[in-house]
Structure 1
Amino acid sequence: MFETRSGEKLLETDPETMPLDGRVVFIGRIASPWTTRKTCPKNMRAARETGQPAHLVIDPLYRDGLLGLERASHVIILSWLHHAPRQLIVQKPRHAVEPKGVFSLRSPARPNPIGLHVARLVAVDIDIGRIDLDAIDVLDGTPVIDIKPYFSSTDAFAEATMAGRDESPRSDEQ
């Protein structure tokens, strides 16, 4: 269990203890230079600023799924943030004025701790299941749920905003 801050709220039941209703499988792991939450960048912008590359190692069973991925300049990676608490439903970020529901935050603490990362694809080696990335903002060994090509024509919205944002953009750190 972890300590909550003023204004935070926990779910009555920890999602980790609930019956399974889906069969998510991990297709590989992320190899990153980050081994502690303290040193791990808080978002992809901060990760890129470190100049530290990362890579994914895809399990043999799923490597054929990488065919054609090398054509993408960027990829979307969905990860399972396995160190994140799952019972926190209202959070009070240190830098925020008011508590916020988890679905209005990019924090890893949420009922299903799924991380979303958009990274520049550097290289793909299907034979060894390795995907090289420009950077990543998660701990070494983080499980990978899925990989998708990023399409600027459909995935980017220049007009997107977050009204009244009183905090810096956060990604899915652990």
Structure 2
Amino acid sequence: MNDGHQSLEPIAWIRTPFRDKFTVPRQSGLVNQAKGIIQFCPDFADADRLQDFRAHSHYWLIWGLHLHQHTDKSLAVRPPRLGGNQKTNVFTTRSPFRPNNLGLSAVKLDTIDSAHQQIHVMGVDMVDNTPIYDIKPYLPYADSINSATSTWANSAPVRCFDVRYRETARQQLTQYEQQHAVPVMPLVSELLAHDARPAYHGKTAGKTAGRSAEKIADKATPASPRIYYSQIYTLAIAWQVEGDTLTVLSATELSAVELSTAKLSATELATNQSEIKKPINPS
């Protein structure tokens, strides 16, 4: 007897520059430099049919919020657009804490790699190694609703900061780009120009945020702005905000111990020099 339940199996996995949730774009399409590689599972990998994706410029991805699958859920959530303090119904938000752990993103088709049975997309908003459950074309006549309105999210987020780099950070990023053939600085600049800080942090000073902060950079003093750490590719990006200026302090490559062995290196993610035989299940 069919009780209405349905189990989902991934059709693909997506590789992205984001190793954890912090600093992932809050919506798809906000950061064009945020690029992903969709690796199809064997049962859905048909190299002869990949060229069909050229029929459309954009696609909807239905994907799994796998990092939240064991997190307690609530009908009431606090979206960042309401300051992070006001509660509202989860179904009226884009909160990742959802009953069925499903995400929906519109991405732009970039390139097709038939040899590796992959498609490359732009404007992603998910962490590395996220399961993809379905892909559908974005149809302008049906999916773009000019009369649509939203009470508290009616306009796109604006760039908040002038992103600058300390010379040490610039040198580190330049060296990393040359070594791995991946344009990190354009991604970092576009990503951090939008305020990536938690809504409740605001201009709080004197603390650090992010994973392994003490191991990667000096702690901020009580009188200094808070230092944040974003993991992008295999880098720990340290940055802080003062007024309208965001300064990238350093870009330190993480050690092998700090990196998950279940994820691709930056070179593999950026250039696909080594063929991926089978997508890796994050669980």
TM bracket (short chain): 0.7 to 0.9
- 1:95-152, Cα deviation, whole Å (9 max, x unpaired): 1563111100011101011111111101223452211011201100010000111110
| Distance change in 2, residues 1:96/1:169 (3 Å) | farther
Q: Which amino acid aligns with 2:60?
A: I
Q: Which residue of 2 aligns with 1:44?
A: 28
Q: Which residue of 2 aligns with 1:54?
A: 36
- 1:35-57, Cα deviation, whole Å (9 max, x unpaired): 11112121124332xx2321111
- 1:44-75, Cα deviation, whole Å (9 max, x unpaired): 24332xx2321111112112364622211111
Q: Which residue of 2 aligns with 1:165?
A: 152
Q: Which amino acid aligns with 2:65?
A: L
Q: Which residue of 2 aligns with 1:88?
A: 74
Q: CA RMSD in A?
A: 2.5
Contiguous gaps of at least 5 residues in structure 2: 158-283
The runs of 4+ residues in structure 1 deviating greater than 4 Å are 166-170
Instruction: From the CA coordinates, give the structure whose radius of gyration is larger.
Output: 2
For residue 35 of structure 1, the aligned residue among 19, 30, 33 is: 19
| Distance change in 2, residues 1:135/1:166 (3 Å) | closer
Contact persistence 1:55–1:132 (CA under 8 A): yes
| Distance change in 2, residues 1:127/1:120 (3 Å) | same
Per-residue deviation, 1:166:
6.2
Contiguous gaps of at least 5 residues in structure 1: 1-18
CA distance in 2, matches of 1:142, 1:165: 29
Which of 1 and 2 has higher RCO (CA within 8 Å, sep 6+)? Answer: 1
The count of corresponding residues between Structure 1 and Structure 2 is 149
Per-residue deviation, 1:88:
2.0
Per-residue deviation, 1:93:
2.8
**Percent identity over paired residues:** 26
Q: Which residue of 2 aligns with 1:5?
A: none
Structure with the bigger percentage of helix: 2
CA distance in 1, matches of 2:57, 2:154: 29
Per-residue deviation, 1:87:
1.8
Q: Which residue of 2 aligns with 1:124?
A: 112
| Distance change in 2, residues 1:60/1:158 (3 Å) | same
For residue 148 of structure 1, the aligned residue among 116, 129, 136 is: 136
TM-score w.r.t. length of structure 1: 0.75
CA distance in 2, matches of 1:83, 1:44: 18
Give the secondary structure class of the aligned counterpart of 2:31.
Answer: helix
TM-score w.r.t. length of structure 2: 0.48
